[in-house]
Amino acid sequence: MQTRVLKIGTRGSELALAQARETRARLMAAHRLQEDDFEIVVISTSGDRIQDRPLSEVGGKGLFTKEIEEALLTGGIDIAVHSSKDMPTALPEGLELSCFLEREDVRDAFIGRAAAKLEELPERAVVGSSSLRRQALIRRLRPDVEVVMFRGNVQTRLRKLNEGQVGATLLANAGLRRLGMAEVITELLPVDRFPPAPGQGAICIESRIGDTRVRDMLAPIGHGETEAALSCERAFLAALDGSCRTPIAGHARVEGDRIAFSGMILTPDGAEVHEIEADGGISDAASIGGRAGETVRARAGTTFFDSWT
């Protein structure tokens, strides 16, 4: 019986499986391996099972990673493939984010039935989103529309939209592109007006610290610019204690040996916003993000964060 070279752990949604298959394809090309050399292991997570409540009420981002990380720690899988924006800033002891694949488009996609564009929605239109960041940004731009909680995977949310439960929804352009579903998009929202979540559009791979065999396998498929950008964005999140409970946007762009970062924090109603921009050398990426988070936290003042709890 053939022994698999690598066991890849993932959630079971179509998007998660597409990301696992992309990782497998890159590893196959880098090491001249076959599909049979890999096993994709589907792991059900609490975040997938809990559909009747906002994640902010039941534990935040960690609900999408807990069971997968347990399998990684016990040796049930060799690597875990995640959407970077789903990853908490603090990882379990013994685990690390060891690889980032080249980032896709970071923009949010508007999918409208009541109107093709966010700005064209009629007053009191209903928009569905499970992201507190998206909810706050919608309310900032269109305080006259109603924003409702909208859980489920991509296909579930699109089905609910087509059933008329809401007049519009928002999804990550990167995810729709990976699923070959970009045709459903009616508007791509510009980053300067609708900034993305930290990590949006990037696939990250988690592994055990000290597993040199895995690290050597992953090395050829890692993308240095994406890793630098994500280290900046995740440091910004960490300084703000960011999770699914908090409306935070952040985007780092690598330009040669420099990195430029823009970040935003909002109250959930979108009424109060604090923005920051920072830049510096790419080798200082994490420090740039961390300092930006600390600066915007101090600028907002302690009462601003009362609405986040």
Q: Active-site residue among 78, 86, 108, 211?
A: 86
Q: Which of 307, 288, 118, 86 is nearest to 194 (CA)?
A: 118
The alpha helices in the chain, defined as continuous H runs, are 14-31, 46-49, 55-58, 66-73, 132-141, 154-162, 173-178, 212-218, 224-239, 285-300
108 is catalytic: no
The CATH code of the domain at 1-102+202-222 is 3.40.190.10
Chain centre distance of CA 98: 17
- Topology of domain 224-309, CATH: Double Stranded RNA Binding Domain (3.30.160)
- Backbone phi and psi for residue 65, each to the nearest 5 degrees, phi listed first: -125, -20
Tens place of pLDDT for every residue, the chain, 309 residues?
A: 345 789 999 999 999 999 999 999 999 999 999 999 999 999 987 666 555 555 555 455 566 788 999 999 999 999 999 999 989 999 999 999 999 999 999 999 999 999 999 999 999 999 999 899 999 999 999 999 999 998 788 999 999 999 999 999 999 999 999 999 999 999 999 999 999 999 999 999 999 999 999 999 999 999 999 999 999 999 999 999 765 568 999 999 999 999 999 999 999 999 999 999 999 999 999 999 999 999 999 999 888 888 776
Determine the residue type at 7.
K
Q: What pLDDT, on a 0 to 100 scale, did the predictor assign at position 1? A: 36
Helix then strand then coil, in percent of the chain rounded to 5, is 40, 25, 35
CB neighbour class for 213 (10 Å; exposed up to 12, middle 13-18, buried from 19): exposed
Closest CA to 20 of 158, 206, 170: 206
Q: Which of 39, 49, 46, 50 is nearest to 81 (CA)?
A: 39
Query: What residue segments make up the domains of the chain, in order of their start?
Result: 1-102+202-222, 108-188, 224-309
CATH fold match for the domains 1-102+202-222 and 108-188 = yes
8 A C-beta contact, residue 276 and residue 262? yes
pLDDT at site 56: 52
CB contact burial 111-141 (16+ within 10 A = b; e otherwise) = bbebbeebeebeeebbbbbbbbbbbbbbbbe
Structural fold of domain 108-188? D-Maltodextrin-Binding Protein; domain 2 (3.40.190)
pTM for the whole structure: 0.91
